[in-house]
Amino acid sequence: MKQHAELDTLVVGGGVVGMAVAYGLARAGERVRLLDEGDDAFRAARGNFGLVWVQGKGLDRPAYARWTLEAARQWPAFAQELAQHSGVDVELSQIGGLIMCMDEAELAQRAAGLAAVRQQLAQPYPFDVLDLKQLRALSPLVGPEVAGAVFCPLDGHVSPLRLLRALFQSFQNLGGELCAGVAVDAIAQRNGAFYVRTGGTEHVAAKVVLAAGLGNRALAPLVGLEAPVKPVRGQILVTERVQPFLRHPSLHVRQTGEGVVQIGDSKEDVGLDDGTTLAQLARISERAMRCFPLLKTVNIVRTWGALRVMSPDGFPIYQASTACPGAFVVTCHSGITLASQHAGPLADWIRGGQQPADISGFNAERFHV
């Protein structure tokens, strides 16, 4: 490994958030070392659904809607760039996504929410409300119980595992150092440098970025920051491979590039339990079968639970430490959607640039009310 003084930034956390930031910094020429825990860590990045999603994000929070919109717009270029650096195709498909509604009231409520976001934004915010007939023109195998859907042409999906792989590979190809299987025990700042201890090793760099997901809760106070994040469990089922029938992802069902149908989701407050329950899996399956009756005969091959990283209001925490200049906390729930922004404008800010205007409100002080 390189000598201490040669490192610009230590990134703590090798999930999709930490990797996007680390990749962005390495791409800009920084010397970066990434510290990642082992496979016994809670890894949202290895259990998530893989949506690049705009619609419904930032209701009552226009800055978040704009941040998300820009992330979605940057995704095609981001995916292309990752493929060039890593040779990994992340299977981005961004031809629009659907939120399916089982009754008219739900559909009307969704549409009203999006109309409100559209009104608050000073830029185009495309979406269409589809009745069942219009929906079936897009997605012919939708079941008769579905009332309709909201379609947003900016929505899409990627393979989250391929994305993570592409980020790791790109990061390493750009000279980034990966230090896996280590946990941060202590962080100290002396003479303008951060000394981060993992077991018997000390890592030294000018900056440190905490992107450790749920681990940020304990790490942030070490550098004068806070990250009051909590786990929210989601459960997912995946089926055997099916010949392609579903082009547009929805919040609950998507078909992967390999043909697997991925089915979610649930939101449960169960602490650090990332297991599955029959009750939730049954509920999730039942809804998916109402949306797509053909799923009734398709075999499930695997199920899992994973823990989302949620702040008290659900929005990200992006903050630079004033007590320890050069330390940052980065945490959010939508690590896939926002990956393009994290590798771009967020990494530029960490390098010393201007903080993007849309994220200036996402500090932890907002929780002190």
Give the footprint of other proteins on this chain (CB under 8 A): 141, 240-246, 258-259, 293-299
> Which uninterrupted H or E stretch holds 205?
strand 201-205
Q: Which is nearer to other proteins, 230 or 241 (CB)?
A: 241
193/9 Cα distance (integer angstroms): 10
Q: Which is nearer to other proteins, 15 or 249 (CB)?
A: 249
Shortest separation between residue 223's beta carbon and other proteins, angstroms: 46
Q: Provide CB contacts within 8 A for 254, sequence distance 6+.
A: 49, 50, 51, 157, 246, 261, 262
Q: Which is nearer to other proteins, 76 or 293 (CB)?
A: 293
Detail the DSSP E strand segments found in 104-176. 128-131, 148-152, 156-157
HSE-CB at 79 with a 13 A cutoff on CA atoms is: 21
153/94 Cα distance (integer angstroms): 8
51/251 Cα distance (integer angstroms): 8
Shortest separation between residue 258's beta carbon and other proteins, angstroms: 8
| 186 neighbors 223 (Cβ within 8 angstroms) | no
17/210 Cα distance (integer angstroms): 10
36/38 Cα distance (integer angstroms): 7
Q: Which is nearer to other proteins, 144 or 352 (CB)?
A: 144
Shortest separation between residue 244's beta carbon and other proteins, angstroms: 7
Q: Which is nearer to other proteins, 180 or 294 (CB)?
A: 294
Shortest separation between residue 293's beta carbon and other proteins, angstroms: 5
Shortest separation between residue 91's beta carbon and other proteins, angstroms: 15
Q: Which is nearer to other proteins, 143 or 264 (CB)?
A: 143
Shortest separation between residue 133's beta carbon and other proteins, angstroms: 17
